[in-house]
Amino acid sequence: MIPDWETERRRMVEEQLSKRGIRDERVLSAMNAIPREDFVVPEARLAAYFDEPVPIGCGQTISQPYMTALMAQSLELAGTETVLEVGAGCGYHAAVLGNLAARVISVEIIPALAELARRNLARAGLDHNVTVICGDGSLGYPGLAPYDAISVEAGAPEIPSALLAQLNDPGRLVIPVGERGEHELRVVWKRRGQIEHRVETLCRFVPLRFPRR
């Protein structure tokens, strides 16, 4: 039996997001509007709105809905920003960011996932302001820097210096930092040449991948 996807999205927003402290109405509206079920692999479609990460192929996952919302909320987007995303995955997080910002540049290191993200975004009609590039996201994308906000959807042992260099002033960056399997979700902001940060929560992410040398 095919679920009522609109009901599933509404339940996700109410039970997984609103009740757990997501207050940004623009983030809640975006996640209520974007068809998450269209971004997961067919065999995992029934798990699209589960409160957990879901496999998307190539050893990667689509993040738990709450984590997507928390990261987006932490960037405090107003709708005018150019955002760099590191780790396009299946394209869902880029779709959420594209709903909240003027432009999104999403960098994905795995060619198959970069193509998957492009297809998913185009099929959902959400690619008008999202560009997916296959490349090393740890290096950012200097050609269009600086970025008003940067979102990293993979864990790194430290914040890549290239991303800090490409962050606008003022600007915000959100990234999981730590060793494999144990991360702190850090919100970093650049203001008047100074870098500050806070730890939003503990989390677990797939590791940030680097090209083989």
- Return d(Cα 113, Cα 115) in angstroms, integer: 5
- Return d(Cα 79, Cα 94) in angstroms, integer: 14
The 8-class DSSP code of residue 135 comes to S
For helices 111-123 and 92-100, give the axis angle rounded to 10 degrees: 50
Catalytic choice (18, 29, 63, 161): 63
Is the C-alpha dihedral spanning 28, 33, 39, 43 positive or negative? positive
User: 207 and 154 in contact (C-beta within 8 Å)?
Assistant: yes
Q: Cis peptide leading into 42, omega within 30 of 0?
A: no
Residues 6 or more apart in contact with residue 181 via CB below 8 angstroms: 204
Q: Catalytic residue at 63?
A: yes
Beta bridge mates, 188: 173, 197
Active-site annotation, residues: 63
